[in-house]
Each structure stands twice: as C-alpha cells, then as structure tokens.
Amino acid sequence: MTQTFDDIITDFDVLDDWEDRYRYVIDLGRDLKPYPEDARDAAHKVQGCVSQVWLKTEIGEGEDPEMIFLGDSDAHIVRGLVAIVLTLYSGRRASEILAIDPDNILKTLGLDEHLTPQRSNGLRAMIRRIRSEAQAVLIADSAIARH
C-alpha cells in the first residue's frame, strides 16, 4: 500500500456520506498485499473478530525494532479495516506503535459511530493484538539487555 494514514483521513474528509466511505474502505482492502497461505492458521488468527482475520508480524533488528504487519480477512469491509490498521501501524518501531492512541484515531475517522458493534470489537481486537506484539518485543528485548 502506498497510502499513508494522513491520506486516508483526507480521503474520508472529502467523502460526504458513509456509503461512499464504506466503498472506499472496501477499495483499500483490495489493495492489500497478498497474504501468505501458510499463515492462515490458528496462530495468526485474530481472536475477537466475527469474520476470519489473520495477522502476520515480521520483526526487525535492534532494541526498538521496526515491525511489519501483513493481514487479511474473508469479509470485504473487514479487509478494508485491516488495510486501515496496517497503514497506521506497519513499518513503525515498536515504541511508536505503543505511542499511538487508537481511540483518538478511530474518532478521527468516525468509525466508532458507523460500524456495527461486532466490527468495532473486531477492529479493537486487531489493534490490541498489534499493540500486544509491540509490547512483547520491547519487554523481551529489555529482559535480554539486563542479562
């Protein structure tokens, strides 16, 4: 994906009604990088999503590594939400991921008011998973550094 999160915010502002925004979210999902078939398993499945959602994490080197996320879903709108989440978090350092206020971001896009409770819960589950993985990387690296 070549879009930044700021691009998505700008595009949301330009689109007046939610039907257009939903179509835009679905289009974002179509632009996701292909997800590896061997990562469509229980270990990569996001718990708490009604639809099938998978997230794969690639962790870079160093004390505060860059984290790359790949994701996919079997539902079009959810696949678009995966694309939004990946645009926000993928390619950032673990500490940057933890510094992002997800509630503020969701309010910026107005997603909370316009998604079903199930989709909102699934979106939050994706974000929790990403943040948890970033936290685990920093804790593990901190523990290694102490020894």
Instruction: Write down the pTM of the prediction.
Output: 0.91
Specify the amino acid at residue 79: R
Whole-number pLDDT of residue 93 = 97
Map out the domains of the chain with their CATH numbers.
Answer: 5-146 (3.90.1010.10)
Which residues carry out catalysis? 49
Give Cα separations from 64 to 58, 98, 143 (angstroms).
13, 11, 13
Closest CA to 123 of 82, 76, 67, 68: 82
pLDDT per residue rounded down to tens, the chain (147 residues): 568 999 999 999 999 899 999 999 999 999 999 999 999 999 999 998 788 999 999 999 988 999 999 999 999 999 999 999 999 999 999 999 999 998 888 788 888 788 888 888 889 999 999 999 999 999 875 555 444
